[in-house]
Amino acid sequence: MKLGFNTSGNSQTSGRTTQAILGLGCLRNTKGSLTRKFKYCNERDRNYVFQCVFNQPIPPPCPSITLTNIATFNGTNWLLNQDTTILACQTLEIPAGQELQTNHFTLTNNGTINVRGTIRNAQDTGGNNSVTINNGTINIFSTGTIVAVDGGSIITNNGVVNNYGDFYCQTYGVINNNAGGRINNYSAFSGSTGGFRLNANGTFNNVGIFINNTGATIKNAVNATIYIYDGGLITNNSGGLITNAGEIFTGIPPCGIGIINGPGTITNTGIIGQGCPP
């Protein structure tokens, strides 16, 4: 059967071309039918050509998201209103000079968060367990900070964190880099800020990949602890620096072995040995 449309102006095509084109998805996949429908769908919306050609539902547009959608400004900081998920299609911007406190709720990122200001895992109201979970990408810019502040404050990475700013764990905070997670550190500690660092009694659990790049630093303070285990890896590239005044443990068979490698420098005044998290 030969398919075609009379486009010479007769009543067969007047007002009915669109319906005819859309109906082509129900016809057999002849070269002519698919070519005509592809052309129509491509002109209609290039973002959803496949769905249009094969009569599939078109997903709703991705809603935009800003701090005003998820948090309340208290005159100083933004306080997260409730447990919040950033969708895979969304990008949340934390502007320079602005601070978002997770405020004993959980912030889950499945999309992208660009941190030019601060994400502070802490609370201004009663409660505990201020949590940030990253399943997507977090970019910490040179002006940006992410910090786990105290007991119950946890940052868990299952995605990618690119740190050009300040990524650290304050007293009793916890940072987890899970299997499949990757932290790329490009930042160096200077004065009292920058790099990847743990303050006293902070904990970093790494079973993912951590790349300490040229010129970047990992700083582990007195009484702070880093566990690298179950296949976890820290690669300290040439020109990178790990300064340890606390404890670094690279696992033992019950929890799996972790590795520190690379030609970078390690300055150790604490303990580097084998052991598992409690």
Mean pLDDT throughout 173-181?
97
Q: Which pLDDT value is given to residue 218? A: 98
For residues 258 and 230, is the Cβ–Cβ distance under 8 A? yes
Q: One-letter amino acid identity for 52?
A: C
Residues whose CB is less than 8 angstroms from the CB of residue 110 and which lie 6 or more positions away in sequence, other chains included: 85, 86, 87, 88, 135, 136
Reported as a single tens digit per residue, the pLDDT across 52-79 is 877 787 777 899 999 999 999 999 999 9
Encoding tokens for residue 164? 């050009």
- 127 pLDDT band (50/70/90 cuts)? low
Residue 196 has pLDDT above 80, yes or no: yes
Q: Which pLDDT value is given to residue 30? A: 56
Encoding tokens for residue 229? 């285990």
Encoding tokens for residue 53? 């050609």
Q: Which pLDDT value is given to residue 32? A: 60
The domains of the chain are located at 17-53, 67-273
What global pTM score does this model have? 0.81
